[in-house]
């Protein structure tokens, strides 16, 4: 998880061209000309994925699926953080019922985004470690702004990424590159991510990143929506089904792991380090 002083700013749009609905931590804006929805995460300061943000993300994805949008662009209202990943406070000295709800909601949100019937793209306008990278790689296309980093760095925090995290990573990177990066907990700069194929394009700023995401979704304009959706579903079916079939086992594995004394100690040390950094700022 990463810290930022910058508070998020809700994305603005011309009211004559946009229809907007909002939940607590996400905003959905559908452009009435392109029919493309922009889903913006807005939980300052770092879009830490807690239970409530995950619930809002899932609700927003369902809304976009239901309003027949032509595509989904995922981005952040922060100018420096896409998402800092799972909120460590959900896992440190967890409440028994809440931690179960938290992980179950994470499963639901991933299944909804990775398995979305509409074309999906991520406009990565800030750092994207761990769960932030999971969200980005769950989309079909990624455009990233320079001078930020992205990667699944769980091993650096003493955490093991579950198989379905790896599935999103493997849908983007060759297995050898993905395995090495996961084992190292490697974070890639924007330029490095482009070179290895973790992202598809770079953009000078968020607005340009969204424009490039719109252009990607536009490549499906003449493709039959049902045929495209079913093709995507077939490509991703094994990954989705694997989690669906093993949801309970995955939950129990996570609960067992996160409650290990060594893991709790490591999370405590990490949180204490964040507090010290915050005091110095």
What is the average per-residue pLDDT within 109-131?
97
- Which residues fall within 8 angstroms of residue 90, CB to CB, at 6 or more apart? 50, 51, 98, 99, 102
pLDDT, position 281? 64
The conformation of residue 156, written as its DSSP 8-state character, comes to G
pLDDT, position 212? 98
In SS3 terms, 218-267 reads as HCCCCCCHHHHHHHHHHHHHHHHHHHHHCHHHHHHHHHHHHCCHHHHHHH
pLDDT above 60: residue 20 = no
pLDDT, position 15? 27
The span from the CA of 165 to the CA of 134, in Å, is 6
16 within 8 A of 51, measured Cβ to Cβ = no
* Adjacency order of strands within the sheet including 36-41: 18-22, 26-31, 36-41, 71-76, 120-124, 141-144, 201-202
Residue with tokens 């790896």: 166
pLDDT digits (tens, 9 = 90+) for 145-197: 999 999 999 888 888 899 999 999 999 999 999 999 999 999 999 999 999 99
Percent of the chain whose pLDDT exceeds 70: 91
In 3D space, the residue among 104, 94, 50 whose CA is nearest the CA of residue 248 turns out to be 104
The span from the CA of 44 to the CA of 33, in Å, is 30
Distances (CA, A) of 218 to 35, 66, 81, 123: 10, 20, 26, 15
pLDDT digits (tens, 9 = 90+) for 55-76: 999 999 999 999 889 999 999 9
Which of 4-18, 67-81, 94-108, 111-125 is predicted with the least confidence, judged by mean pLDDT?
A: 4-18
What is the average per-residue pLDDT within 22-42?
90
Query: Could you tell me the fold of the domain covering 26-279?
Result: 2-enoyl-CoA Hydratase; Chain A, domain 1 (3.90.226)
The span from the CA of 128 to the CA of 83, in Å, is 5
- Which residues fall within 8 angstroms of residue 109, CB to CB, at 6 or more apart? 54, 57, 58, 61
- For 84-171, list the strands marked E by DSSP: 120-124, 128-129, 141-144, 149-151
For residue 165, the SS3 value is helix
What is the average per-residue pLDDT within 246-272?
92
The conformation of residue 1, written as its DSSP 8-state character, comes to -
The span from the CA of 254 to the CA of 257, in Å, is 5
Say which residue, 274 or 115, is predicted with more confidence. 115
The residues carrying an active-site annotation are: 86, 131, 153-154
For residue 146, the SS3 value is coil
The span from the CA of 238 to the CA of 64, in Å, is 24
- Domain parsing of the chain, residue ranges: 26-279
What is the average per-residue pLDDT within 221-247?
96
């Amino acid at each position: 998880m990463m810290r930022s002083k910058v508070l998020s700013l809700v994305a603005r749009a011309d009211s004559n061209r946009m229809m907007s609905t909002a939940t607590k931590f996400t905003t959905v804006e559908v452009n009435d000309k392109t029919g493309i929805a922009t889903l913006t995460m807005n939980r300052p300061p770092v879009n830490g994925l807690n239970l409530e943000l995950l619930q809002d993300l899932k609700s927003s994805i369902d809304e976009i699926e239901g309003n027949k949008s032509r595509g989904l662009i995922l981005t952040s209202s922060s100018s420096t953080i896409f998402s800092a990943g799972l909120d460590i406070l959900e896992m440190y000295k967890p409440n028994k019922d809440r931690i179960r709800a938290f992980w179950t909601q994470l499963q639901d949100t991933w299944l909804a985004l990775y398995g979305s019937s509409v074309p999906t793209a991520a406009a990565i306008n800030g750092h994207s470690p761990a769960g932030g990278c999971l969200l980005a790689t769950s989309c079909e296309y990624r455009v990233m702004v320079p001078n930020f980093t992205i990667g699944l760095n769980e091993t650096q925090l003493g955490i093991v990424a579950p198989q379905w995290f790896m599935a999103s990573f493997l849908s983007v990177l060759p297995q050898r590159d993905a395995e090495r990066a996961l084992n190292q907990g490697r974070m890639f700069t924007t330029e490095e991510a482009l070179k290895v194929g973790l992202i598809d394009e770079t953009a000078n700023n968020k607005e340009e990143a969204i424009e490039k995401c719109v252009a990607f979704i536009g490549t499906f304009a003449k493709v039959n929506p049902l045929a495209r959706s079913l093709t995507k579903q077939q490509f991703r079916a094994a990954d989705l089904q694997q989690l669906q079939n093993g949801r309970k086992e995955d939950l129990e594995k996570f609960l067992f792991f996160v409650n290990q004394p060594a893991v709790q100690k490591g999370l405590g040390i990490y949180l204490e380090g964040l507090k010290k950094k915050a005091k110095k700022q």
